């Protein structure tokens, strides 16, 4: 054997592990699967010729062992505790309260991790080499599943040594299956006459119980690390630093794990993640909130079952099987083409679901959703329902893949994908479908609040070409309206009166209604308060817009600047100005001084309000000179409690702060319940 053969084997192993790291940890592969397989095959050939050079941590040894006779029990050096969980925000806030009371002046920083729905597994590395894989078991004793863990290509058999390896490193995480892999696996199970798996967790658990690693390897299991166990020779003082270390060592960690200083930020992030569940290729049933600092964890301690420094904020999941009867594409107010699946109606959690968004072309392709397919639909808490996966094992006959339209389905205009994004848009600003959506948004309560301008009427106005732009609303005459279906003399006059009244809504409501990308109620308020009138706003550079406190950065700034410097944007503003639409807004401080019934008062709102959205109510507080705070403290003057108030109400009572309901608050400020003009 020549020295060059040994070197080629060593180089191939390093190259293969590097590509595994790029693929599984960095999600940035440099070569195709076929090229990767060629490297692996070359290594396999060399090792077959020189078996004396085969090592346990060679990439070729992921599948190679014989079936085992049974599982050996393994005692965990550090117990694997379970984590308390909840399904409501109130308990998460209560957890935060307990943490802060215990730590006192040593305030916590929280790290939030996705709770991937898989099987809990512990990996033990000694001097950088994988020595053991074990199940959680009862938390004290699990099963040795090393033979199956070694088949999971996410899991490195040897850690990257760029920055040294600890003597002992115990990593805990979840072995999981992607939703696409579950569909593929169930199809194979059916073809072989085997039982079908109910969900991804069930399939992952069943795979790890196999005695033959060659069979487990066929299941394409995946792994995410999320916790630490026994550590020797590794000095880290916080969980985030531990995750960074093992990620750099080649172990994939649970994605989307940011740090937050306040529980409000934690809860807002959790809600965002719940909404985004459809985009993940794996099942995620909640998020785990952990105190980041290890010293603080020691101070907080644990019960016999659970640590006091962590809580799982879960989302209730309901699923049902149904069938896709059709797929069609809708066009939104900004031109986004959104595919929608028409379903055979199915009841989930008390609601009848007949259609669901498929979000974008990539989503359809990734899940391979086709007309006629049997699918699993999920509804998670307040989140809109979505398709989890296709039940490939039930797909009958050949079904044609859905081809996303290359022209706008509403106007036939050109479409293009966002640069670096997933959305495909109609590029025709005169597209009638876009116009209908813009009109609905313009007339909405939080925008120009034009009562009586509903979807059916908007359809008629656009279809009969009475309205071709937003300013055309102010050109409508009674004679034109009387020519429409279901429109009488009184209804026509009422609509004209409401359209006329909308001219006085002010800059904030106008900006909300214009439908500028990335400008909703919040950003509209920030812009209105910052500039005060439309002319100052239109003169602002992109850099100046990006500096508006609280605005969503460069992306929103670019969108606002682009709108006001486009031909359509400038024309829209000038025409609206010509009809007398008010385009000014008293900045918040001047409004407060003018109306200051609540001057100097700090007010917290909790629960659901009957007559206002949260944005409207907080805006009212600010207009009256008050401060709308998010947390109850000793500086809070009073709390307004709506229906189903959260832990803020309990906190207010603890501190002896005055609590009023919505009606009592309105009486205090001399206003009646109803809409704010």
Positions marked active-site: 115
Residues 217/63, Cβ–Cβ less than 8 Å:
yes
- The full DSSP string for 363-382 is HHHHHT--TT-EEEEEEETT
Residues 360/279, Cβ–Cβ less than 8 Å:
no
SS3 239: helix
Q: At what angle do helices 263-275 and 89-103 cross, to 10 degrees?
A: 150
Task: Please give the torsion angle defined by the CA atoms of residues 424, 429, 431 and 434, in that order, rounded to the nearest 10 degrees.
Answer: 70
- The full DSSP string for 52-66 is GG--TTSGGGGS-PP
Judging by DSSP bridges, how do beta strands 424-426 and 415-417 pair with one another?
antiparallel
- CA distances 273 to 310, 343, 363, 655, Å, are 18, 25, 17, 32
SS3 213: helix
Alpha helices in 218-360 (DSSP H): 239-248, 263-275, 294-300
Element (H, E) at 426: strand 424-426
- CA distances 520 to 322, 398, 451, 526, 617, Å, are 35, 44, 20, 10, 16
CB 112: neighbour CB atoms within 10 A?
Answer: 22
Q: Give the integer Cα–Cα distance in Å for 130 and 123.
A: 7
Residues 592/622, Cβ–Cβ less than 8 Å:
yes
**Max CA pair span of the chain:** 99
| Residue in the block written with tokens 């081809």 | 403
- CA distances 341 to 178, 331, 333, Å, are 22, 14, 20
SS3 505: coil
* β-strand partners of 295: none
């Amino acid at each position: 054997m020549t020295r060059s053969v040994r070197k080629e084997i060593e180089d191939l192993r390093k190259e293969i592990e590097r590509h595994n790291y790029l693929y599984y940890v960095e999600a940035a592969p440099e070569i195709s699967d076929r090229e990767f397989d060629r490297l692996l095959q070359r290594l396999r050939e060399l090792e077959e010729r020189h078996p004396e050079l085969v090592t346990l941590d060679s990439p070729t040894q992921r599948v190679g062992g014989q079936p085992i006779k049974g599982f050996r029990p393994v005692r965990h050096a550090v117990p694997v505790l379970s984590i308390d969980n909840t399904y409501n925000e109130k308990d998460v806030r209560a957890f935060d309260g307990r943490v802060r009371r215990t730590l006192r002046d040593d305030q916590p920083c929280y790290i939030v991790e996705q709770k991937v729905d898989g099987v809990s597994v512990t990996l033990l590395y000694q001097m950088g080499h994988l020595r053991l894989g074990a199940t959680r078991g009862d938390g004290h004793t699990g099963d040795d599943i090393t033979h199956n863990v070694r088949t999971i290509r996410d899991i490195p058999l040897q850690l990257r040594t760029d920055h040294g390896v600890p003597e002992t490193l115990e990593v805990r995480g979840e072995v999981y299956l992607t939703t696409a892999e579950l569909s593929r696996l169930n199809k194979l199970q059916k073809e072989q006459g085997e039982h079908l798996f109910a969900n991804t967790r069930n399939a992952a658990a069943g795979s790890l119980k196999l005695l033959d690693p060659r069979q487990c390897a066929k299941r394409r299991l995946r792994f995410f690390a999320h916790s630490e166990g026994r550590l020797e020779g590794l000095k880290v003082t916080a969980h985030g630093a531990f995750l960074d270390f093992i990620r750099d060592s080649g172990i994939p960690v649970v994605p989307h794990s940011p740090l937050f200083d306040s529980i409000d930020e934690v809860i807002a992030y959790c809600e965002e993640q719940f909404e985004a569940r459809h985009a993940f290729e794996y099942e995620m049933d909640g998020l785990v909130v952990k105190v980041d600092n290890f010293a603080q964890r020691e101070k907080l301690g644990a019960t016999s079952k659970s640590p006091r420094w962590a809580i799982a904020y879960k989302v209730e999941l309901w699923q049902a099987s149904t069938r896709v009867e059709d797929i069609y594409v809708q066009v939104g107010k900004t031109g986004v083409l959104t595919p929608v699946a028409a379903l055979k109606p199915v009841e989930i959690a008390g609601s009848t679901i007949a259609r669901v968004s498929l979000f974008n072309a990539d989503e359809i392709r990734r899940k391979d959703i086709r007309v006629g397919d049997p699918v699993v639909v999920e509804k998670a808490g307040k989140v809109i329902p979505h398709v989890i996966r296709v039940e490939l094992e039930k797909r009958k006959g050949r079904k044609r893949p859905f081809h996303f339209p290359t022209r706008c389905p509403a106007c036939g205009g050109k479409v293009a994908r966002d640069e670096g994004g997933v959305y495909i848009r109609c590029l025709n600003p005169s597209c009638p479908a876009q116009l209908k959506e813009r009109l609905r948004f313009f007339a909405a309560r939080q925008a120009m609040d034009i009562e009586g301008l509903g979807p059916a009427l908007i359809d008629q106005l656009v279809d009969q070409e009475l309205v071709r732009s937003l300013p055309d609303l102010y050109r409508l005459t009674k004679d034109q309206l009387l020519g429409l279906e279901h429109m009488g003399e009184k209804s026509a006059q009422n609509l004209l009166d409401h359209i006329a009244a909308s001219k006085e809504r002010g800059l904030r409501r106008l900006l909300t209604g214009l439908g500028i990308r990335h400008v909703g109620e919040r950003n509209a308020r920030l812009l209105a308060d910052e500039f005060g009138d439309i002319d100052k706003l239109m003169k602002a550079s992109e850099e100046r817009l990006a500096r508006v406190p609280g605005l969503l950065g460069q992306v929103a700034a670019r969108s606002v600047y682009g709108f006001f410097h486009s031909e359509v944007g400038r024309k829209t503003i000038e025409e609206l100005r010509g009809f007398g639409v008010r385009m000014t807004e008293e900045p918040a401080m001047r409004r407060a001084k003018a109306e200051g019934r609540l001057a100097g008062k700090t007010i917290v709102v909790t629960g659901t309000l009957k007559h206002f959205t949260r944005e409207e109510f907080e805006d009212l507080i600010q207009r009256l000179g008050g401060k709308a705070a998010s947390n109850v403290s000793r500086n809070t003057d009073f709390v307004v409690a709506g229906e189903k108030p959260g832990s803020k109400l309990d906190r207010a009572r603890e501190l002896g702060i005055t609590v009023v309901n919505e009606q009592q608050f309105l009486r205090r400020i001399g206003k009646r319940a109803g809409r704010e003009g």
